[in-house]
């Protein structure tokens, strides 16, 4: 019997958003989500927050990586809540140290987050940072962003995605009618890797449902669409870790964004325990 737990880790940091000239406030995101979550199931535990001190984003990401690595090596499922999308680089540091199998990253997001990071990382750079990390290790970068909005990504970012051989699914096709074809694309991506790290950026949702994010837009996912994809991804039995990013309660309306994040988390709980994570580790 698999005795692993879902371990909730808060990433109380929006320094990356500040560096990216976004709307700050996501550091309050983890606690805002917790207020809407209610009672946790017996096999879930909350480890509290990792907090960014004195603007030291890099230290905060390393601390998150160490926590994620520890939980994975114990056979647990890290569910990280944030916080800016710089959460992804810290999260992957832990996965990279703990998991020796091929990892694919699926990102539900309006943005590629492949920006250059010559002067340090931010909320727009995490997947470019991951690609460079893997390059130094002679490992392949497997990354599938879903929900890319053309007016939210520069021509340079599209070129970077092409250079890095990053496939993507544009937002304009992310409708319920297109789910069968999108699932085929996701399945083909998952078939190429051993395990999946799923990252969900709440700014990929329409601001009708998620006004409380750092970069809101009326063009975005419907919750039912995202849940269909999340269920399909977890049904692969390959998901080993997940995070939810960019919850910004400063701009939320009637807690609608926090409530949706909490609903996503509660939908993920029963999907986690069908596989033994330890087979991916050292």
Q: Is residue 20 part of a domain?
A: yes
Cα separation, 14 vs 233, whole angstroms: 28
Residues 6+ apart with CB under 8 A from 241: 68, 72, 77, 78, 79, 80, 91, 94, 95, 197, 198
Q: Is residue 113 part of a domain?
A: yes
Domain extent, residue 38, equals 6-280
The pTM for the full model equals 0.96
Give the Å distances, CA to CA, from 61 to 58, 64, 87, 137.
5, 5, 7, 19
**1: pLDDT strictly greater than 70:** no
The CATH number that applies at residue 247 is 3.40.800.10
Q: What is the pLDDT of residue 183?
A: 98
Q: Which one, of 121, 137, 138, lies nearest residue 129 by Cα?
A: 121
Per-residue pLDDT tens for 194-244? 999 999 999 999 999 999 999 999 999 999 999 999 999 999 999 999 999
Q: Is residue 211 part of a domain?
A: yes
Per-residue pLDDT tens for 82-113? 999 999 999 999 999 999 999 999 999 999 99
Q: Is residue 94 part of a domain?
A: yes
Percentages (nearest 5) of helix, strand, coil residues in the chain? 45, 20, 35
Q: How many domains does one find in the chain?
A: 1
Contact between 245 and 85 (Cβ < 8 Å): yes
Q: Is residue 132 part of a domain?
A: yes
The CB-side HSE value for 212 (13 A sphere, CA atoms) comes to 25
Q: Is residue 1 part of a domain?
A: no
Per-residue pLDDT tens for 110-135? 999 999 998 889 999 999 999 999 99
Q: Residues 163-188: what's their mean pLDDT?
A: 98
Q: Is residue 164 part of a domain?
A: yes
Q: What is the pLDDT of residue 118?
A: 84
- Which is it for strands 169-170 and 142-148: parallel, antiparallel or unpaired? parallel
Cα separation, 209 vs 99, whole angstroms: 35
Q: Is residue 194 part of a domain?
A: yes
């Amino acid at each position: 019997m698999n005795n692993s737990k879902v371990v909730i880790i808060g990433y109380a940091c929006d320094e990356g958003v500040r560096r990216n000239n976004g709307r700050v406030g996501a550091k309050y995101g983890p606690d805002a989500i917790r207020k809407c979550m209610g009672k946790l199931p017996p096999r879930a535990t909350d480890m509290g927050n990792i907090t960014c001190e004195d603007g030291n984003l890099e230290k905060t990401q390393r601390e998150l990586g160490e926590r994620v690595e520890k939980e994975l090596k114990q056979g647990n499922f890290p569910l990280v809540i944030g916080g800016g999308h710089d959460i992804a680089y810290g999260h992957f540091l832990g996965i990279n140290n703990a998991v020796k199998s091929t990892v694919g990253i699926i990102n539900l997001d309006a943005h590629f987050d492949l920006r250059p990071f010559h002067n340090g990382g931010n909320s727009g750079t995490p997947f470019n940072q991951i690609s460079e990390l893997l390059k130094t290790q002679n490992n392949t970068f497997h990354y599938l962003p879903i929900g890319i909005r053309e007016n939210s990504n520069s021509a340079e970012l599209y070129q970077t995605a092409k250079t890095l051989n990053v496939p993507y699914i544009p937002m304009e096709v992310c409708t319920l009618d297109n789910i069968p074809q999108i699932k085929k694309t996701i399945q083909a991506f998952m078939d190429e890797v051993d395990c999946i790290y799923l990252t969900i950026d709440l700014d990929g949702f329409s601001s009708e449902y998620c006004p409380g994010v750092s970069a809101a837009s009326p063009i975005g996912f419907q919750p039912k669409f995202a849940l269909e994809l999340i269920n399909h991804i977890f049904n692969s039995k390959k998901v080993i870790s997940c995070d939810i990013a960019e919850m910004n309660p400063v701009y939320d309306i009637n807690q609608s964004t926090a409530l949706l994040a909490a609903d996503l988390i509660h939908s993920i709980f029963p999907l986690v325990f069908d596989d033994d994570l330890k087979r991916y580790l050292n």
